[in-house]
Amino acid sequence: MNDMSEEPPALFPETIAPTVPLTKELENLYEFLLHQKLVHATNERELSELSKLSEKQLEAKARELENWNFRLNLDEAKEVQLSMSLGLLTQQQSSAPVMHRDL
């Protein structure tokens, strides 16, 4: 995998063309995913580090990442609430879906 143009076959899911009509937001997401550039060096390093961990260490790492995700979502909710109280954001804007990367 030294060739950066080579994609690892089983590590990343293939982006499949939609079979039903999409909303504008989903069309934009599809276009983004279709043309997304993978950072192989980082992914290889992370996978190498994770492959060296025991099952208990992997579970601990997963919990750590879940906690980070939870705290970030709390921080985002506080920021949205503050923005709404300052009149910078309306209820309609705050209910728009936000894309998050699930761990």
Domains: count for the chain? 2
Is there a contact between 99 and 29 (Cβ–Cβ < 8 Å)? yes
Q: Are residues 13 and 45 both part of a single domain? A: yes
Q: How far is CA 62 from the centre of its chain?
A: 15
pTM for the model: 0.46
Q: Which amino acid is located at 70 in the chain?
A: F
HSE-up of residue 93 (Cα within 13 Å, Cβ side): 8
- Residue labelled with tokens 């190498």: 48
> What is the tens place of the pLDDT at every residue in 48-93?
888 899 999 999 999 999 999 999 999 999 998 998 888 887 776 6
Q: How far is CA 75 from the centre of its chain?
A: 17
Q: Structural domain of residue 40, as residue ranges? A: 7-52
Is there a contact between 38 and 3 (Cβ–Cβ < 8 Å)? no
Residue 85 placed within a domain:
yes
Q: Are residues 20 and 44 both part of a single domain? A: yes
